Amino acid sequence: MAHTLRNDPDLWLPLFPWPSADAHKHARGRMVVVSGDAWSTGAARLAARGGLRIGAGVVTVLSPTEALATNAAHLEAVMLRGFDEPNQLAELAQTADAAVIGPAAGVGERTTLNLFALTTTGAALVIDADALTSFQDDPDNLFSVLDRDDVLTPHPGEFARLFPGLLEEKGREAAAREASERAGAVVILKGPETVIASPDGRVSVNPNGSPWLATAGSGDVLAGFCAGLIAQGMPSFEAACAAVWLHSRCAGEFGPGLISEDLPDLVPAALNELFVAKMGQNLR
């Protein structure tokens, strides 16, 4: 059986996308997030803010036209564009390096068509929540359009919809490994000890899980962290590992009372800690 890795900074910090001295916003990566309808926009904004805070240079919420006013009232540094049809979504995402789809997107055909539209772009996809459940009746239809740069972020219930019986049969690590191989994409199986699996067989287990993450919207922020790192050029497996670790670190540092809106604003301190450690290593 393949060796299981411990997900700590030694695993991914050498590949972390620190900006160069001549960096500009487009060089730091372009990320998009697909919004839900007018009554379900907050999750997309959480993901977008997560991506922006973790370093993506340009983050845009791609919103159904009916939800533009709702999103515009809550966005500042995050940009906003509207669409009505999947082909318009694909056009708006053409230059994106990474895209998040799923948070409060709605379960059903509209989300599946929007996901298929995104696969025609060059963006790596981070697929979460409703975008996972939309394929529960035909998961192979989802897997057929994925590639190794894409990331699935299921909690155990969503995992069971795409991979029925696999968790019970195999246990978390083996199930995540097999799921990643089946899907042909990175899988983040969320939980107290989140498992991250790559289609090449690598598996890491996160050691710093926090119970304070058991709050609505925290997974949306995680999707944004992951996409934000991928947008900056970090390989998807390492980006997923880093996102999971930083997500847990932020929650652990904050402690009781954490809500998902807090998480993006906590990541700069965690990043600074890693950056100071990196600079110290470079000076030795």
Q: What is the pLDDT along the chain (284 residues), one digit of tens a residue?
A: 468 999 999 999 999 999 999 999 999 999 999 999 999 999 999 999 999 999 999 999 999 999 999 999 999 999 999 999 999 999 999 999 999 999 999 999 999 999 999 999 999 999 999 999 999 999 999 999 999 999 999 999 999 999 999 999 999 999 999 999 999 999 999 999 999 999 999 999 999 999 999 999 999 999 999 999 999 999 999 999 999 999 999 999 999 999 999 999 999 999 999 999 877 766 44
Which amino acid, 200? D
Check residue 2 and give its pLDDT.
66
> 210-225: per-residue pLDDT in tens?
999 999 999 999 999 9
Q: 144 — phi, psi (to 5°)?
A: -65, -20
pLDDT at 284: 47
Burial of 29 (0-12, 13-18, 19+ CB in 10 A): buried
Coil, helix or strand at residue 19: coil
Query: Of the candidates 277, 284, 283, which has an alpha carbon nearest to the alpha carbon of residue 16?
Result: 277
Helices 236-254 and 218-231 sit at what angle, rounded to 10 degrees? 140
Strands (E), the chain: 4-6, 30-34, 58-64, 79-83, 98-101, 124-127, 151-152, 186-189, 195-197, 203-205
Element spanning 204, H or E: strand 203-205
pLDDT given for residue 200 in this prediction: 97
* Cβ proximity of 107 and 240 under 8 Å: no
pLDDT of residue 1: 47
The pTM assigned to this predicted structure is 0.97
CATH class of 4-283: alpha beta
Looking up tokens 């604003």 gives: 265
231/139 Cα distance (integer angstroms):
26
User: Could you identify the residue written with the tokens 């025609």?
Assistant: 120
Q: What is the pLDDT of residues 29-83, one digit of tens each?
A: 999 999 999 999 999 999 999 999 999 999 999 999 999 999 999 999 999 999 9
CB 15 within 8 A of CB 235: yes
Q: Tokens at residue 124, please? A: 């790596």
Domain boundaries, the chain: 4-283
Relative to beta strand 186-189, strand 79-83 is unpaired
